[in-house]
Amino acid sequence: MGKKKIVVLTGAGISAESGLKTFRDSDGLWEGYEVTEVATPRAWRRDPKLVLDFYNMRRRDVLTAEPNAAHLGLADLEKDFDVQIITQNIDDLHERGGSTKVLHLHGEIFKMRSERNERLVYDIREDILLGHTAEDGSQLRPAIVWFEEPVPMIAEAVPLVQAADIFVVVGTSLVVYPAAGLVELARPGIPKFIVDKKIPYTSGLPEIVAIEQPASIGVKELQKRLTELLD
């Protein structure tokens, strides 16, 4: 018999413990910016330099951040399970933490794309500047899914969630759609866990086991509970 499939949906709460800020902090700002100023197509049309500067800062933050115990703990599950990470995060901390199967729903900070053609994607570790162009001659922008843009990777995520033997949510408030809707696609009757320091309202999902802890502590507890499932 093969390993059981675990699908883990992760959000900003797991990266927060590595020092990366989130839009969902108490003031609803990210480094003092409103979402609409820096993370929408309108913002890009209005002030592309501001948007580039903002994401250049994010990229530098990620370069200096390190995976934390939660990232390492999820990677460690691969010893006993077939683990698929589906993350809303744009950082590469899951990969650096050792996870081998990571799907980024909202894009990646170390990728950039043509503003006209989303299929022209390139790796980037430095800053993107105004005047940096793709091979089609158009300005390069972060390969990030902004608010008010479709989330193309959701189509790949859906069958992965539907095939899960165990479904886990770590560090997400389950308010950003369409990602939040994935929870409802997990098959009835399979073990489901949510790890977050503040568990959102999930009474519509009675099967979920809540572990109300920060991600690093909660993933340790999750590992213990998953080991019990193997016994």
Catalytic residues: 106
167, 55 contact by CB (below 8 A): no
Q: What contacts 24+ positions apart, CB below 8 Å, involve 43-47?
A: 43/146, 44/115, 44/141, 44/146
Give the CA count within 13 Å in the CB-facing half-sphere of 160: 23
Beta strands in 102-145 (DSSP E): 102-104, 107-114, 121-123, 140-144
The amino acid present at 203, given as its one-letter code, is S
User: Who's near 59: CB < 8 A, 6+ residues apart?
Assistant: 109, 110, 124, 125, 127
CA distance linking residue 11 with residue 88, whole number of Å:
5
Tell me the residue ranges of DSSP E strands in 131-191: 140-144, 166-170
Residue at token pair 């589906």: 86
Per the CB < 8 A criterion, the answer to whether 193 and 168 are in contact is: yes
